[in-house]
Structure 1
Amino acid sequence: MTPTAPPFGRTLCAMITPFDETGALDLDGAQLLAAHLVSEGCDGLVLSGTTGESPTTTDAEKAALVTAVREAVGEDASVVAGVGTFDTRHTVELTLAAEKAGADGVLVVSPYYSRPPQDALEAYFREIADASGLPVMLYDIPGRTGIRIEPETVIRLAEHPRIVAVKDCSYDFLGTQKVLNATELAYYAGCDEHNLALYAVGGAGCVSTVANVVPAHVAAVLESFEAGDTPVSARLQQRATPLIELMMSSDLPGTVTAKALLNTLGLPAGPVRSPLRPADRKTADGLLAEYERLVAAP
C-alpha cells in the first residue's frame, strides 16, 4: 500500500516547550531546539501538545511559541499548534490565535473530563474546523481524555474539507485500519512503538515524542521503508525500542523523560511545570545510557 500523502510532513516531532531556570517560557531555546530538530530530519513540529505541556501554558505563551518557531524554521517544516481544550469556545479562540501566529494547522484533542457522547464530539470537531481556514488534525488519545473518537465518528468527520489528519494514540490498530480503508485521512502514529507499523499499512508518518532526542533515527525508520528497504527499517525501529520503552513506558510522562535527556545533552529544555516533577538522577542516567547505545549502534 502506498502511504497517504502527508499534509504536514512525514516525521513530526511532538516538541517539548523549553522553559528557563525560573520556569518562564524560553522562546530563544524553542527556536534553537526547533531549528535543531528540523536540521536532523523532522519536517514538521507539533507545539503545545501533550509533550509540550499545554495544560500549564497560557494562551499568550502558546501563540508566542508558534510565532517564534515559525520564525526559526521558516518554510522548511510545518508548524502544527495544539489547541484542544474541554471548552469549545476556548478551543475556537486558540485556533484563531494559532492561525494569526502563523501555524500551518491545528491539533485538536477530544474534550477531556466532560466526556461528551459521539454526536456532541462530532459537533465539537466540526465547529473547530469551521472556525478558521486551517487544516485540522484530530487527536485521539482516550487514555488521557477518557473518551475515544470512535472509528465511525472519524469516518463521518473525514467528510469535512478541513479535517485532514489524525494523531492516533487509540491503541486500536483494527479501528485505525478501518478508517484508513474508508477515508483519505492522513494517519500519524502518536505512539512511537507504532511508527513503522502504521506507516506500513498506509499511515502518513508519526508525531513522535522520542524525536525530541533522536530525530534523525526516527526519520530514518520511515525513510528506509519509503525507499523499499523494509529489513533496514524494521531493524532501526527495533533498535529504538529500548529507548522508546524508557521514555514512554516508565511510569513517567514523555515530557519528563524527554526534558531529562535533552537537559543532559545540553539542548534547550529546562524544567517541567508543576504538577509534573523532574526525573531523578538515576532515571536521567539510564536514559542517557540507552541514548548512547542507540546512537553508537552501526
Structure 2
Amino acid sequence: MTTPGSSATPFGRALCAMITPFTGTGALDLDGAQRLADHLVSAGCEGLVLSGTTGESPTTTDAEKTALVTAVREAVDGRASVVAGVGTFDTRHTVELALAAEKAGADGLLVVSPYYSRPPQDALEAHFREVADASGLPLMLYDIPGRTGTRIEPTTMIRLAGHPRIVAVKDCSYDFLAAQKVLAATELAYYAGCDEHNLALYAVGGAGYVSTVANVIPAQLRAVLDAFEAGDTPVSARLQQRATPLVESVTASGLPGTVTAKALLTRLGLPAGPVRPPLLPADREATDELMAVYGEFVGAG
C-alpha cells in the first residue's frame, strides 16, 4: 500500500475530496479524472478521496467507481494515497464495493454511515466492523449526520478505534468537543471534513483535512498546514482566514459543494463537466459570483 503519511496521518495530511469529472454528455471522463488527479497532486495534495459526497457517489455506478480508482491510481503513480468511497445504506453492497476498490488498487476506504435506515448505534458499529473485516484495507469512517441522519456517537467511535483496520475519521459532525474527546481517547487520525475547521482541528491534534475546496486551491490550503507545522501559527491563521470567503462561497452558498467546485473548475479550464441529476449546475450569475470571490482570493495572494 502506498501512503505518504505516518501512522498518525495514514493517508497524508492534505487530502482532496475530488470531484468526479464527466463528459459533456454526462459519461464518466476517465481521462479528465487522470488529468485532474495529476494537477491536484502536483499542487500539493497528499491524498485523493474518490466517490465521496463531492464525488457524486450516489449517482455513479459500481463499475464507474471501480474504473475511477484504477484510473486515478495510475495517474498518481504512488505520489499520493487513493481513498475510495464505498459507503452505502446496505452492508452487503458496501462490502462488495470495498472488495472491488481493494482489487482496483485503492490504499484505503471511506465508509459513510448507512443513510435512510438510520441504524441504532449497535447496528452501526456492526456495519463498520463487517466492512473492516471484509478486506485488508484501512478504513476512514465518515461522520456526516446532516446527510445520513445518523451520528457516529463518540462512544461508538472509541469502541471502533479498537479494530486494527479502522484508523481514521472524516469529521463532518460540527461537534468540535466530541472530536477532541475521541482524539484524547484513541489513536484515530481525525480529518476535518469541513474546510472552516481545517486549521482548528489540526491545531488540537487532527491529522489534516479532506477538503472540497482543495479542488480549486490545493496549494493554498496545503500552505495552512505547512505554516502551522513549521511553528508559524500567525501565518497559518492568516492563510486560513484569507481562504474563508472562498470556503464560504464553495461550501455554504446554498449550493452543494459539488456544484460550486465544478462551476469553478470549468471556468478555470480544468476537468469537471456537468453534475448528474438530481443536482443542477450553477447558473451564470452564481458562477460569476464564485469567480469574483476566487479572483479576490488570488489577487490577495
Give the Cα separation in 2 of the matches to 1:25 and 1:137: 25
Residue in structure 2 matching 1:166, options 153, 169, 177: 169
Q: Where does residue 91 of structure 1 map in the other structure?
A: 94
Runs of 4+ off more than 4 Å? none
Say if 2:43 is the partner of 1:40. Answer: yes
Offset at residue 296 of structure 1 (A): 2.0
Q: Where does residue 11 of structure 1 map in the other structure?
A: 14
Say if 2:281 is the partner of 1:275. Answer: no
Q: Where does residue 230 of structure 1 map in the other structure?
A: 233
Superposed CA offset, 1:30-84 (max 9, x none): 0000000000010000000000000000000000000000000011000000000
Q: Where does residue 294 of structure 1 map in the other structure?
A: 297
Superposed CA offset, 1:106-155 (max 9, x none): 00000000000000000000000000000000000000000100000000
Instruction: Name structure 1 gaps, 5 residues minimum.
Output: none
Checking the alignment, whether the CA contact within 8 Å between 1:11 and 1:44 is kept in structure 2 is yes
Q: Where does residue 108 of structure 1 map in the other structure?
A: 111
Q: Where does residue 209 of structure 1 map in the other structure?
A: 212
Give the Cα separation in 1 of the matches to 2:280 and 2:242: 29
Superposed CA offset, 1:140-192 (max 9, x none): 00000001000000000000000000000000000000000000000000000
Give the Cα separation in 1 of the matches to 2:179 and 2:13: 18
Give the Cα separation in 2 of the matches to 1:25 and 1:157: 35
Give the Cα separation in 1 of the matches to 2:201 and 2:285: 33
Give the Cα separation in 1 of the matches to 2:139 and 2:161: 10
Give the Cα separation in 2 of the matches to 1:272 and 1:47: 15
Give the Cα separation in 1 of the matches to 2:268 and 2:189: 33
Offset at residue 4 of structure 1 (A): 7.5
What letter matches 1:215 in structure 2? P
SS of 1:167's partner is strand
What letter matches 1:71 in structure 2? E
**Sequence identity percentage:** 82
Q: Where does residue 151 of structure 1 map in the other structure?
A: 154
Checking the alignment, whether the CA contact within 8 Å between 2:250 and 2:260 is kept in structure 1 is yes
Q: Where does residue 122 of structure 2 map in the other structure?
A: 119
Equivalent residues in 2 for 1:174-253, closer than 5 Å: 174-253=177-256
What letter matches 1:209 in structure 2? T
Offset at residue 211 of structure 1 (A): 0.2
Give the Cα separation in 1 of the matches to 2:66 and 2:198: 29
Query: How well do the aligned residues superpose, as a CA RMSD in angstroms?
Result: 0.9
Give the Cα separation in 1 of the matches to 2:171 and 2:49: 14
Give the Cα separation in 1 of the matches to 2:97 and 2:263: 29
Residue in structure 2 matching 1:129, options 129, 132, 143: 132
What letter matches 1:156 in structure 2? R
SS of 1:251's partner is coil
Residue in structure 1 matching 2:62, options 59, 65, 85: 59
Superposed CA offset, 1:267-297 (max 9, x none): 0000000000000111111111111111222
- When normalised by structure 1's length, the TM-score is 0.98
Checking the alignment, whether the CA contact within 8 Å between 2:8 and 2:187 is kept in structure 1 is no
Superposed CA offset, 1:213-270 (max 9, x none): 0000110011110110000000000000000111111111000000000000010000
Give the Cα separation in 1 of the matches to 2:270 and 2:180: 37
Give the Cα separation in 2 of the matches to 1:280 and 1:4: 43
What letter matches 2:190 in structure 1? Y
Give the Cα separation in 2 of the matches to 1:297 and 1:277: 31
Give the Cα separation in 1 of the matches to 2:295 and 2:250: 14
What letter matches 1:14 in structure 2? A
- When normalised by structure 2's length, the TM-score is 0.97
SS of 2:103's partner is helix
Checking the alignment, whether the CA contact within 8 Å between 1:186 and 1:204 is kept in structure 2 is yes
